[in-house]
Structure 1
């Protein structure tokens, strides 16, 4: 599993974009983007939605990669189904304390 910052940085680089490119397309400050990517700051849902849209990433891909959702196997379904991660499944954020401290 990846942290939110690791996931976003990896996707940005896969798209061949710089942090400044994301800043220009989303209006989210360059400094805030870099703090999110370094896991020094946690984005709001609104900010996260804007970042995912700029990177052309679907929510399910993000939730699976960061451990907030897990695939559910059920019979011969053609379309995958998912469960939210339960309390017994530690997320990366739970395993590694964030350096971000709320004020």
Structure 2
């Protein structure tokens, strides 16, 4: 598990690709984003010109919306279609990183300047190299 956390910190730019392996369903993303916006299924349905039963079926992954409907839902929720389909990187990281202290650090690192992020990546890379070398020497 430690390697997973180190991977997340070391490969900040590759996090979205790595997290795709742990991707939730479209319905889960829709429900989470809708709930975050405090919009009911009925309200969302009204915003996109559909009946609320369609929203319910999408959230339960019983049916999949067309691309046109996905665009309308994304607009109504003020999110990108990528966030709706794949979930945001923040959502995915929060779902997978149970260590809240590490998650807080990860979020703080993302807000640093690029040069500072590079320094942190270098430090983590050096530490990983050190531990790998120790493992190889010890056995």
TM-score scaled by length of structure 1: 0.59
Residues 1:35 and 2:35 aligned together: no
- Corresponding residue of 1:5: 27
The unaligned stretches of length 5 or more in structure 2 are: 1-22, 89-113, 115-139
Change (3 A) 1:22 1:6: same
- Corresponding residue of 1:44: 66
**CA offset at residue 28 of structure 1?**
1.6
Change (3 A) 1:63 1:20: closer
**CA offset at residue 65 of structure 1?**
2.2
Residue pairs, 1:16-95, within 5 angstroms: 16-65=38-87
Instruction: Give 4+ residue runs of structure 1 displaced > 6 Å after superposition.
Output: none
Q: Distance in 1 between matches of 2:81 and 2:50?
A: 19
Q: Distance in 2 between matches of 1:56 and 1:28?
A: 18
The structure in which a higher percent of residues are strand is 1
The structure in which a higher percent of residues are helix is 2
Q: Distance in 2 between matches of 1:13 and 1:44?
A: 21
Residues 1:14 and 2:36 aligned together: yes
- Count of residues in Structure 1 that have an aligned counterpart in Structure 2: 67
Q: Distance in 1 between matches of 2:84 and 2:45?
A: 20
User: What do you get for the CA RMSD once the two structures are aligned?
Assistant: 1.8
TM-score scaled by length of structure 2: 0.44
